[in-house]
């Protein structure tokens, strides 16, 4: 909650004004039974003018309560809205800036849940505390103070009920926080299933696995229902317990009031006013209960939000004193690099190679061999456990992030297109001139289908580019990577959906148009890497072959076997 309070500091003045107005409204409500008691005791039987005067006082207090409550509630809604907007914005920005390791730790479905469900719970609590956080205590303690003044004997009946009520609320709250945290974890699991199924809906239908996915969703949904039921039962027990205690108090007040009136130690009008105060106090207690229930949800959600906002950056920029530069003419150098995702078994081990500026590197190997992991290290999504990576002689740990990433044009395995025009998907909000966008599309061999689209570069893509083919998506993604004229172009399995003819034409265009760009290609096809200046053959995280295509055919049996199976050992252009 400490993190949330830091966000509320900017709204303290507005909240204070709202609390002041809410206090005026609540005090006006408290005055109504007191004025009624005075009318019943001292005004009835007097002149009409006295009755109208005191009746007008009740109307005035009612109007003040109405206007002030509406004003305070509107102010509360605006404060909670602005607070939640700022919180969601910062949480979203922080989510985008998390390292790959941190994103893996939180998981994407959990991050989505924190930005949506958790921020909603916090927003609801901030809104409620402004509307009820002042009104309920004033009605509760103000009502008790007035009743003590009116009739101390009856007031003691209500005061005696407060300790068991607050003890009940306190202990239920202690049990509620971990229960709601478990509910949010179940929400994460359900979102994960929904997210996977919506992205793979076509595959699910094609493989007739709709019923299987229904069952998988039902299992996640039942788990959520079970956790929600448990939390609901525990937190829902507050209201019945409160109602029980208040009913006991109401019966006791009526019985004792009747007894005191019969003995002449209390006036009937006091008992009538007292019952109205008891109603106000009961409402206040119910409001306090609701606040505690909402606080329980808010506390669980606030903890999850704070975990993201307070997570320290683990991909830091270091000084060159810690990681000295290397006097090497090579553009990219990997020096004894090893890395493990889980810290148990190395996913990459002892990777060494150097690549000159403007040359090309091909990486090939079986699925899961570590090809994409090598790319992630080059892009500094993760830092190696040991060894160093250099670009232009500088250790990448010492390079400012904006300067570092501006050197790259990247197409990853699971890249994305968003629902916007073809031109915007290529330009990607980088203020790239249209002529450069068009040139990138020409180089990526995308112009041939863009020209056929209705509107060409103004053609609007569906979400994830669902209204174009897989090969067209890949050519648009390559166009995006080329548009900013990067120093290093990374293509991670980015031509798998292209036919051999288009793939060959693309490789030829890249070699002709990007003379000064260092090209890194990860592929399953030998034909996609065979013309590279250096080819790395990776197996189980190790380099088992390095060299040109012709050399590897003779020195690396694994590469020769792949080439034979795909191309019959022939040179295919």
CATH topology of domain 2-309: ABC transporter transmembrane region fold (1.20.1560)
Are 553 and 391 contacting, i.e. CB atoms less than 8 angstroms apart? no
pTM to 2 decimal places? 0.72
Q: pLDDT tens digits for 230-272?
A: 887 877 777 777 778 777 877 777 787 787 778 777 777 777 7
Q: CA-based diameter of the chain, in Å?
A: 119
The reported pLDDT for the residue numbered 513 is 83
Distance of alpha carbon 5 from alpha carbon 7, whole angstroms: 5
Question: What pLDDT does residue 329 have?
Answer: 66
Q: Report pLDDT for 571.
A: 45
Give how far the C-alpha of residue 376 lies from the chain's centroid of Cα atoms, to the nearest Å: 23
Say what the pLDDT of residue 348 is: 92
> Which tokens sit at 53?
């005067």
Residues of the chain with CATH 1.20.1560.10: 2-309
Q: Rounded to an integer, what distance in angstroms lies between the CA atom of residue 55 and that of residue 291? A: 34
Taking each helix axis from N to C terminus, what angle separates 238-263 and 210-236, rounded to the nearest 10 degrees?
A: 30
Q: Does domain 413-485 have CATH number 3.40.50.1970?
A: no
Q: What distances in angstroms separate CA 335 from CA 350, 405, 462, 519, one per listed residue?
A: 8, 21, 43, 19
Q: Which CATH architecture has domain 315-407+495-573?
A: 3-Layer(aba) Sandwich (3.40)
**Selection from 391, 478, 392 nearest residue 437 by Cα:** 478
The structure tokens listed for 59 are 């109307």
Judge contact between 227 and 182, C-beta under 8 A: yes
Query: What angle is formed at CA 239 by the lines to CA 233 and CA 241, rounded to 5 degrees?
Result: 95
Residue 536, strand partner residues: 363, 546
Under a CB-based contact definition with an 8 Å cutoff, are residues 330 and 359 in contact? no
Residues in the chain with pLDDT values less than 70: 45, 173, 199, 202, 328-329, 567-573
All CATH 3.40.50.300 domain ranges of the chain, comma separated, are 315-407+495-573, 413-485
The per-residue pLDDT for range 267-323, each reduced to its tens digit, is 777 777 777 777 777 777 777 777 877 888 888 888 889 999 998 888 889 998 888
């Amino acid at each position: 909650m400490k993190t949330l309070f830091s966000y509320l500091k900017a709204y303290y003045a507005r909240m204070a004004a709202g609390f002041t107005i809410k206090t005026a409204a609540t005090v006006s409500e408290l005055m109504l039974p007191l004025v009624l008691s005075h009318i019943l005791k001292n005004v009835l039987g007097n002149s009409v003018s006295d009755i109208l005067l005191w009746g007008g006082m009740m109307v005035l207090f009612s109007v003040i309560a109405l206007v002030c409550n509406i004003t305070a509630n509107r102010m509360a809604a605006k404060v909670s809205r602005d607070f939640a907007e700022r919180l969601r914005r910062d949480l979203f920005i922080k989510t985008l800036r998390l390292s790959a390791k941190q994103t893996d730790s939180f998981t994407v479905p959990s991050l989505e849940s924190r930005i949506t469900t958790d921020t909603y719970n916090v927003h609801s609590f901030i809104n409620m505390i402004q509307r009820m956080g002042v009104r309920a205590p004033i009605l509760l303690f103000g009502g008790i103070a007035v009743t003590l003044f009116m009739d101390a004997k009856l007031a003691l009946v209500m005061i005696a009920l407060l300790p068991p009520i607050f003890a009940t609320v306190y202990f239920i709250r202690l049990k509620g926080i971990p229960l709601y945290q478990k509910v949010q974890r179940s929400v994460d699991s359900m979102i994960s299933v929904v997210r996977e199924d919506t992205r793979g809906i076509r595959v699910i239908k094609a493989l007739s696995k709709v019923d299987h996915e229904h069952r998988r969703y039902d299992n996640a949904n039942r788990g959520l229902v079970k956790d929600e039921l448990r939390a609901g039962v525990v937190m829902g027990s507050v209201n019945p317990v409160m109602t029980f205690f208040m009913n006991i108090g109401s019966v006791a007040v009526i019985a004792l009031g009747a007894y005191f009136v019969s003995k002449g130690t209390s006036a009937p009008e006091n008992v009538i006013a007292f019952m109205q105060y008891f109603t106000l106090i009961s409402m206040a207690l119910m409001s306090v209960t609701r606040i505690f229930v909402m606080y329980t949800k808010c506390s669980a959600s606030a903890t999850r939000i704070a975990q993201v906002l307070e997570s320290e950056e683990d991909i830091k920029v270091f000084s060159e004193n810690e990681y000295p530069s290397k006097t090497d003419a090579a553009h990219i150098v990997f020096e004894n690099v090893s890395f493990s995702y889980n810290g148990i078994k190395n996913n990459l081990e002892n990777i060494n190679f150097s690549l000159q500026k403007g040359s090309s590197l091909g990486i090939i190997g079986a699925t899961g061999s570590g090809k994409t992991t090598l790319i992630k290290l080059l892009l500094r999504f993760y830092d190696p456990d040991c060894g160093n990576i250099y670009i232009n002689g500088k250790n990448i740990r010492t390079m400012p992030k904006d300067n570092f990433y501006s050197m790259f044009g990247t197409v990853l395995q699971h890249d994305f297109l968003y629902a916007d025009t073809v031109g915007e998907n290529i330009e990607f909000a980088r203020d790239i001139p249209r002529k450069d966008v068009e040139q990138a599309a020409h180089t990526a061999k995308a112009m041939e289908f863009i020209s056929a689209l209705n509107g060409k570069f103004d053609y609007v893509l569906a979400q994830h580019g669902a209204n174009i083919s897989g090969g067209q998506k890949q050519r648009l993604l390559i166009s995006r990577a080329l548009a900013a004229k990067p120093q290093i172009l990374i293509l991670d399995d980015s031509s798998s959906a292209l036919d051999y003819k288009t793939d060959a034409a693309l490789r030829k265009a890249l070699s002709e148009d990007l003379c000064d760009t260092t090209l890194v290609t990860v592929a399953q096809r030998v034909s996609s890497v065979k013309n590279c200046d250096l080819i790395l053959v990776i197996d189980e995280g190790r380099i088992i072959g390095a060299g040109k295509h012709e050399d590897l055919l003779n020195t690396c049996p694994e590469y020769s076997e792949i080439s034979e199976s795909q191309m019959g050992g022939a040179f295919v252009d």
